[in-house]
Amino acid sequence: MKTVGIIGGSGFIGSHVTKKFLQEGFKVRVSATEIDKTEKYTHLKSLPNAEHLHIVALNVENKDQLKGFVNGCDIVIHGGTPFQLDVKDPKTELFDPTIKGTENFLEVINETPNIKKVVFIASVGAYNTNFPLPAGNKNPDESFDESDTPFMSEESHPYAQAKFIANQTVEKFIRENSDTVFEITSVSPTGVMGKSLSNRNDSTSSGLQFLFKNKIAPNPFIQMIYDNDVEFALVDVKDVADAIFSASTKKGLHGKNYLLSSESWKVSDIIAMLNSEKLNGNARMVYKNDAAKQDLGIAFNPAIVPLTEFSKS
């Protein structure tokens, strides 16, 4: 059996990725930032084939722990960066673990034998830090794909800035290390929606769906989304997991970063879908998914699928 190491494998996206690899017959090694807080990963132990699951303590800023985690892995997936909208100290809560963690990870995997594939779970923020608003170099009616010039603004949310810089760090590593024996592929999801596999209450994705369903605005950022009826690009968490598995197991994708997105809807219609109400508008394809469809073989679900699964959970 091949072994995959999934950093962040107990989070909202990571849990679905863990489930997918277990289903496909892999040994799965999942990181735990706080190994004593079993409530953060205990849901994984009830997944099919969980006898092949191993939970390992890991702080991504600790190189020695990173070396121990990736040693013996055929595939390593890095999705362990924090996704937080409310932050008090962006440097310690977002920038350090996201950027420094990425730098440490790249250094460690470059020194670890036998790794065949590395996949980064990036973010649409790697292409547009203004998300869900249009990129500053685009008009609102224009679409975005992987060939467009990425956009970053220091006025954007710190989370998006951190993901943008981390992705630039990965791209720089690829340019400067053309002789690596492993492939690196990244995926950049838009707004990830769907049902959580756990009862954790710290998932930003689940929290955002809850806020939209109940039209709650705990901060000015969310209130701005309601006030402007912002158009939001969405993607099913199950499609993201399938795309990550495909990117991990297919060859010839080195250096690629795939946008993972389905439909874009005004937030008023997202609220309507979450509450089984009549829609007022129509979907658009703001972030194109042609490359992911072709190379990764993903047939993206319409937004109603993950939103309905969440609302019924």
Q: Rounded to whole angstroms, how far apart are CA atoms 186 and 285? A: 21
For residue 173, pLDDT beyond 90: yes
The better pLDDT of the pair 69, 93 is held by 69
pLDDT in tens, 6-18: 999 999 999 999 9
pLDDT in tens, 19-42: 999 999 999 999 998 899 999 999
Residue type, 97: P
pLDDT band at 267 (very low <50, low <70, confident <90, very high): very high
Q: Rounded to whole angstroms, how far apart are CA atoms 167 and 123? A: 9
Between the alpha carbon of residue 6 and those of residues 11, 83, 200, 299, the distances in Å are 10, 16, 18, 24
For residue 155, pLDDT beyond 80: yes
Domains of the chain: 3-194+235-261+287-298 (3.40.50.720)
β partners of residue 77: 6, 119
Q: Rounded to whole angstroms, how far apart are CA atoms 208 and 198? A: 16
Length of the chain: 313
For residue 248, pLDDT beyond 90: yes
Q: Which of 13-22, 79-88, 213-222, 288-297 has the lowest mean pLDDT?
A: 79-88
Structure token digits, residue 82: 């924090």
pLDDT in tens, 76-118: 999 856 555 555 655 655 666 677 888 889 999 999 999 999 9
Q: Rounded to whole angstroms, how far apart are CA atoms 280 and 247? A: 36
For residue 55, pLDDT beyond 70: yes
Contact (Cβ atoms closer than 8 angstroms) between residue 233 and residue 264: yes
Mean pLDDT, the chain, integer? 92
- 3 state SS of 193: strand
**Does residue 48 have a cis bond before it (omega within 30 degrees)?**
no
Residue type, 33: T
What pLDDT shows up at residue 81? 60
Express as a percent the part of the chain with pLDDT over 70. Answer: 94
The better pLDDT of the pair 140, 74 is held by 74
For residue 183, pLDDT beyond 80: yes
